[in-house]
């Protein structure tokens, strides 16, 4: 991942939550590692909530430093990192201010990266303002989610940005694609003869993909109440993970080869008939409850949320892929807030053996499975059956572990660090192409429309649980259950 490429990294929303928690810490880790960022690379923070560079660096010390280096901050590295940072005070609502940015960076060498860590309503005005001062050439632009509210609004943003930047200049970021286990899933499938022959309907019974959060909406009530879990998590993160799990082997790992195969999966998703949505889609909303001994409020009483809100904070879906590899295999997707644990994982349940001379336990569903844990601890675990010590042929579930932090002694790279380096170095494979995004919206929209038309409230669930009972019932109809229910 080392580079000698000069760059200018311009961070819009330089005092925002994302910049504080993710972007600036990721850039610091790349700087601290040595050799990942060119010495000449500069970081320009753009905001209007600081008076000058000195005040902005004070903000960075107070708000960003606590989020870097879990094992303590290397003070020398931190001091040298701060030397990379410049500040430009800009009112994003005033296009004339962008001349200040042009004057600050126009003579600097290398590629320009514009990271839009702002609300999507500002994407188009920022792009137009950049073009008005000639900063859209020799540049790459990073767009954070959510990119639109539906297919129409997403297309409107993409059309407007596409008039100013070519598709190969646009990096639509989904940080789950930068996680180490997701990269290892590709290595596991396409680098080993062991798994690829089994990765199909003949040997896979079902697949679960879960992204669960203990937190509620926190300070994002205004945003979340107009978005909901389906838009916030399913349309992007979960469908991207699904496409990685289900894609065909690309002929190479170049950006278009990988994204072409992901697109084929998204286009092969079986459309959900509005009449069947009650059977294959569960939506819920958290009520008050207790998480790890602490009482938490109901969603409807959160700041910024309407008291009569019908916005979903939980979604579970049964998804099918209509192609030869996966026909008939159910994919169960689930995401929610205020759930019992913070976890993101992919569970591949292999079919039991067709006949067992070793007893009923060898025929048990889920006896053979692969669990890919994305967070909080990143591991890959393969479950199989083995004989218990002692008399008789008694089988027990055992597992083989790949715990990355134990096997690989060097520190793991965080998702944002990997993705930011990919932007600087011009690697697009881990970013979402426009046609992928359109395919995902096209599949999700009938669910959104049916929920809106039916006007049925989400199913309630207590905070600190795993969501509405209907989610478990949906899997039970297919003779299976969520992983934590079995354990």
Let me know if residue 242 belongs to a domain.
Answer: yes
Note whether residue 159 is domain-resident.
Answer: no
- 140 in the same domain as 195: no
244-253 CB contacts, 8 Å cutoff, 24+ apart: 244/177, 244/182, 244/185, 244/186, 245/185, 245/207, 245/209, 245/331, 245/346, 245/348, 246/207, 246/321, 246/325, 246/326, 246/331, 248/325, 249/189, 249/190, 249/196, 250/190, 253/186, 253/429
Residue 175 assigned to a binding site: yes
Q: Are residues 195 and 325 in the same domain?
A: yes
| Element holding 486 (H helix, E strand) | helix 483-486
Whether the per-residue pLDDT at 206 is higher than 80: the answer is yes
Q: 213 a known binding residue?
A: yes
The set of catalytic residues is 237
Number of domains into which the chain is organized: 2
Q: For 11-39, what is the mean pLDDT?
A: 92
Question: Quick one: average pLDDT of 340-345?
Answer: 95
Last residue of a domain, one of 144, 166, 186: 144
**Residues 181 and 70 reside in one and the same domain:** no
239 marked ligand binding residue? no
pLDDT value of position 282? 97
Write the CATH number for 408. 3.30.360.10
Is residue 179 annotated as involved in ligand binding?
yes
CB under 8 Å to 70, separation ≥6 — which residues?
Answer: none
Same domain, 461 and 369: yes
Report if residue 156 sits inside a domain.
Answer: no
Residues 63 and 209 placed together within one structural domain of the fold: no
107 and 198 in a single domain? The answer is no
Report d(CA 132, CA 308) in Å as an integer: 44
Domain boundary among 97, 120, 144: 144
Query: For 468, what's the count of Cα atoms within 13 Å in the CB-facing half-sphere?
Result: 21
* Mean pLDDT calculated for residue range 36-52: 91
Is residue 86 located within the same domain as residue 223? Answer: no
Residue 91 marked as a ligand binder: yes
Strand 369-375 to strand 379-387: parallel, antiparallel, or no bridges (unpaired)? antiparallel
pLDDT of 459 reads 97
Tell me whether residue 232 is annotated as binding: yes
Range of the domain at 285: 177-412+434-486
| CATH at residue 110 | 3.40.50.720
Instruction: Write the pLDDT tens digit of every residue in 228-251.
Output: 999 999 999 999 999 999 999 999
Q: What pTM was estimated for this model as a whole? A: 0.92
Summarize pLDDT for 158-181 with one digit per residue, the tens: 999 999 999 999 999 999 999 888
Please write the tens of the pLDDT for every residue from 263-322: 999 999 999 998 899 999 999 999 999 998 899 999 999 999 999 999 999 999 999 999
- The predicted structure's pLDDT at residue 1: 44
Q: What local confidence, expressed as pLDDT, does residue 105 receive?
A: 96
Residue 302 tokens, joined: 């959160």
Q: Are 126 and 191 in the same domain?
A: no
């Amino acid at each position: 991942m080392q580079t000698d490429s000069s760059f200018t990294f311009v961070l819009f929303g330089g005092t925002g939550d994302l910049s504080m928690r993710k972007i600036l810490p990721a850039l610091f880790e790349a700087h601290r590692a040595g050799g990942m960022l060119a010495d000449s690379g500069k970081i320009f923070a753009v905001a209007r909530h600081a008076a000058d560079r000195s005040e902005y660096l004070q903000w960075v010390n107070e708000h960003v430093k606590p989020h870097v280096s879990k094992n303590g901050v290397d003070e020398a590295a931190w001091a040298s990192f701060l030397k990379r940072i410049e500040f430009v005070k800009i009112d994003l609502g005033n296009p004339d201010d962008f001349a200040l940015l042009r004057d600050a960076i126009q003579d600097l060498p290398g590629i320009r990266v514009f990271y839009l860590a702002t609300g999507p309503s500002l994407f188009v005005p920022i792009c137009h303002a950049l073009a008005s001062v000639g900063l859209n050439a020799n540049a790459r632009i990073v767009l954070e989610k959510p990119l639109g509210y539906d297919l129409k609004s997403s297309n409107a943003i993409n059309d407007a940005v596409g008039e100013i930047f070519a598709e190969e200049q646009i990096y639509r970021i989904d940080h789950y694609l930068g996680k180490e286990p997701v990269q290892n899933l590709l290595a596991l499938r396409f680098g080993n003869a062991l798994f690829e022959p089994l990765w199909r309907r003949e040997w896979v019974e079902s697949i679960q993909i879960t992204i669960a959060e203990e937190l509620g909406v926190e300070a994002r009530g205004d945003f979340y109440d107009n978005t909901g879990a389906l838009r916030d998590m399913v349309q992007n993160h979960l469908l991207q993970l699904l496409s990685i799990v289900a894609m065909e082997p690309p002929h190479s790992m170049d950006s278009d080869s990988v994204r072409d195969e992901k697109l084929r999966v998204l286009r092969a998703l079986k459309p959900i008939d509005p009449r069947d949505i009650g059977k294959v889609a569960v939506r819920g909303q958290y009520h008050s409850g207790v998480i790890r001994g602490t009482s938490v409020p109901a969603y409807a009483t959160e700041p910024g949320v309407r008291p009569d809100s019908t916005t979903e904070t939980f979604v579970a879906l049964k998804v099918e892929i209509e192609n030869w590899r996966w026909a008939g295999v159910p994919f169960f997707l689930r995401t929610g807030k205020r759930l019992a644990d913070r976890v993101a994982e992919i569970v591949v349940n292999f079919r039991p053996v067709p006949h067992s001379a070793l007893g009923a336990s060898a025929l048990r569903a889920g006896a053979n499975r692969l669990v890919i844990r994305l967070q909080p601890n990143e591991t890959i675990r393969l479950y199989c059956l083995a004989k218990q010590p002692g008399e008789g042929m008694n089988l027990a579930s055992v597992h083989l572990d790949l715990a990355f932090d134990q096997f690989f002694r060097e520190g793991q790279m965080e998702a944002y660090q990997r993705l930011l380096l990919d932007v600087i170095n011009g690697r697009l494979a881990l970013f979402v192409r426009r046609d992928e995004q359109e395919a995902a919206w096209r599949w999700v929209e009938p669910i959104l429309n049916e929920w809106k038309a039916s006007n049925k409230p989400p199913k309630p669930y207590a905070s600190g649980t795993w969501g509405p009972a209907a989610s478990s019932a949906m899997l039970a109809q297919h003779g299976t259950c969520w992983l934590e229910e079995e354990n």
